Structure 1
Amino acid sequence: MRWCPSSALHLLRTVRLRSCPRRGRNTLPLWIREIWAYMRLLVQSFYFNSLTDSDVVFDSFFEPLFYTVDYVTRWFGSLFVWLVVILVSSILVICYVILLPMVFKTYPTEWIAWHICYGHWNLVMIVFHYYKAITTSPGYPPTEKNDSPFVSVCKRCIVPKPARTHHCGICNRCILKMDHHCPWLNNCVGHLNHRYFFSFCVALTLGCVYCSISGRDLFLDAYNAIETIKHLDVVKPGVPVTGMGVLIGLLPPGQTNYQTPAPPYTFKDKMIHKSIIYMWVLTSTVAVALGALTTWHAVLITRGETSIERHINSRENKRLAKRGRVYRNPFNYGRLNNWKNFLGVEKRSHWLTRVLLPSGHTPPGDGLTWEVFPVKKDLIPV
């Protein structure tokens, strides 16, 4: 065993103490000396003992880069949240100001009732789950001494880590059943708010698909109207106006323009058309991107694993496959049981009250202990 300090913190303090007698003669700013001491610590960490492996070298070498990314993500977290609020609010303004009056004028009563009921249910689900996802703590392991079982010790927090717990460099603390840190929530996705995050993704995807399908014809009309106006300053004399010319209000059907100029294409008309195009493009893009993310998380939930555990399980599966053995996820309770456990469904009525309607119930368990390799039966009764 080579020379080894008690801890990295002790080494950093030692480097600083050695430079204390020379501070009077050193003209470099304090922040430069601290960075230099930190870089020396990183270099020394490459060979501080005989247990050093490739993972230690990789972590030490890229530590400044990881720290910078974590710091930038932490700083921009609030901006991402406000961006989500602004984008969703802009779609709501277009729906209430432009689309809803059009629905009342042109749609039959049954379709008006459908759009109002579904649209407002979807809106409530989006707002409720997003608010809960950003305000609910993901769950943290206790820092004081307790009797809870743990599987390792966090090398950064220097506290015991229960099963399925991982350290978040952005939040700078350990998270129970950590899935990932979401910048759009400015919060970690963990044991206590994982369901809120997934339900928000599902609700927002459904809302974007709904707006994209419902507004497709309006988008095509608005796009064609703007393209027609770009190439048509006035209607050519003697040419009958039909089709899109009638739609955008240039002339009545069949009327020709000999001396009368076309009615002006007002600023209000232009903004209405551009707003419809903006809504359709934004909702269609988000529906595809967020739909793919939601589908991936649904697959992970079905398998009984998180995003982090997916990488860990894949690595373990490859490692055991080389030895001719098969790896089993110890937290996979079966497809249906995984969903029941994740959604907190304990009886049939909960599929309505806890899944299809907003619910603030907590997930089963405390996130500290987990049943491993359970018997194949319904863990949660239906």
Structure 2
Amino acid sequence: MRSRRRMYSAVMRFFLKCLRLGQRRRFWLTRQVEQLWLYGRLCLRSLLYNSFADGDTALDALFEPIYWLVDHVTRWFGVVFVALVITLTSSVVVIVYVCLIPLILQTYPIAWVFWHIIYGHWNLVMIVFHYYMAITTQPGYPPQQSKSDVAAVSICRKCIAPKPARTHHCSICNRCVLKMDHHCPWLNNCVGHFNHRYFFSFMLFMTMGCIYSSVSGWDMFWEAYAAIETYSQTPPPTFSFRQRAFHKSVVYAWVLCSSVALALGALMLWHSVLITRGETSIERHINRKERKRLQWKGKVFRNPYSYGPLGNWKVFLGVERHRHWVTRVLLPSTHPPYGSGLSWDTAPCVAEQKTPLLAI
């Protein structure tokens, strides 16, 4: 009897020992699995970790396929956009020469005739000149190899080359651009250091020309529109084919000029604000984030490339003497911008730099 009890107790002890061993082994396996899971998650997070990541970075990642599509569409349709600008502008010029100038010569006083002829042709020359220079002038590219005069601030991760200050990579041109503002599909070219002035001058004079055409053709537009409204009357009016073409051409030109004046005028005003602040379109977003970051730290952001409103305009337009406001702004001029775009020193046309070079 005692031997049975001893045997039974020995079996129970062995069974409990095996049970404890199994529990320990399961616990050990569970612990190993948890450690492997934590280690794998840590590795994955270390690969994707970025201290500069925020909501904008996530949105950029989500919209990356759309950006890729827009880049390729813009690259291939740039020539179409340029042809569209030339075609629309030429159509308005042809309507003015064929329809409006003969009417002006017959009905307007001699003083108004001289005003329209002189101002209209000056505005047309400025538009054609600056648009041609904007699409044919390269915006400026940094050298592929480092040079002693290149103050590189970083390395472009796409070009794998030194990137000077104010230089950004254009995904459409697939290369870095000096003082890049944006890639303009209507120019089929980037707007950068060497053609930024041509781009803005084109917008300015195109807006001025469209406003001039809309204001001076207001009465003609309403007369032509009223005539077109009578086409559906019974009996129809006895307008010849030439008269109908004249009415429709005047309405078309006025609507086109007014639409361009509103759209392009708004864009021109926006770039005027950027130039006054000494910024480009890209730097506007960068400086805004930097201003918020320094404000959170109790500091004040200073734009290192701003010389004050008047100084910024002088540097941008290349005005070094008083006569340059006429010879370089109001007349066609091919003078290059100040500096090479590789380094940014104080321009000679600015007496003293208005802001320090670093944020305080």
TM over 0.5: yes
Which of 286, 297, 304 lines up with 2:271 in the alignment? 297
Question: Is 2:267 aligned against 1:266?
Answer: no
Which structure is higher in helix share? Answer: 2
How many Å separate the matches in 1 of 2:58 and 2:44? 8
Paired residues of 1:46 and 1:60 also in contact (CA < 8 A): no
Percent of aligned positions that are identical: 60
Question: Is 2:170 aligned against 1:168?
Answer: yes
* CA gap 1:111/1:119 in 2 versus in 1, 3 angstroms: same
How many Å separate the matches in 2 of 1:97 and 1:141? 47
The alpha carbon displacement at 1:157 in A equals 0.7
The within-5 A match list for 1:184-195 is 184-195=186-197
Paired residues of 1:181 and 1:188 also in contact (CA < 8 A): yes
Where does residue 65 of structure 1 map in the other structure? Answer: 66
Paired residues of 1:201 and 1:294 also in contact (CA < 8 A): yes
How many Å separate the matches in 1 of 2:229 and 2:338? 56
Where does residue 109 of structure 1 map in the other structure? Answer: 110
Where does residue 76 of structure 1 map in the other structure? Answer: 77
Paired residues of 2:338 and 2:347 also in contact (CA < 8 A): no
SS at match of 1:151: strand
Where does residue 333 of structure 2 map in the other structure? Answer: 359
Where does residue 224 of structure 1 map in the other structure? Answer: 226
SS at match of 1:152: strand
Paired residues of 1:337 and 1:378 also in contact (CA < 8 A): no
* CA gap 1:57/1:209 in 2 versus in 1, 3 angstroms: closer
C-alpha distance after superposition, 1:22-78 (max 9, x if no partner): xxxxxxxxxxxxxxxxxxxxxx99974544745766555544332221111100100
* CA gap 1:59/1:291 in 2 versus in 1, 3 angstroms: closer
How many Å separate the matches in 2 of 1:97 and 1:51? 63
Structural RMSD (CA)? 2.3
SS at match of 2:72: helix
Question: Is 2:101 aligned against 1:97?
Answer: no
For normalisation by structure 2, the TM-score amounts to 0.81
Where does residue 125 of structure 1 map in the other structure? Answer: 126
Where does residue 138 of structure 2 map in the other structure? Answer: 137
Where does residue 333 of structure 1 map in the other structure? Answer: 307
Where does residue 150 of structure 1 map in the other structure? Answer: 152
Unmatched 5+ stretches in structure 1:
1-43, 235-249, 251-263
Unmatched 5+ stretches in structure 2:
1-42, 354-360
Paired residues of 1:167 and 1:175 also in contact (CA < 8 A): yes
For normalisation by structure 1, the TM-score amounts to 0.76
Question: Is 2:287 aligned against 1:287?
Answer: no
How many Å separate the matches in 1 of 2:322 and 2:347? 25
Number of matched residues?
A: 308
Where does residue 28 of structure 1 map in the other structure? Answer: none
Which of 232, 235, 239 lines up with 1:233 in the alignment? 235
Structure ID, larger Rg? 2
* CA gap 1:278/1:139 in 2 versus in 1, 3 angstroms: same
* CA gap 1:204/1:313 in 2 versus in 1, 3 angstroms: same
SS at match of 1:161: strand
Judge which range, 113-122 or 64-73, deviates more. Answer: 64-73
SS at match of 2:190: strand
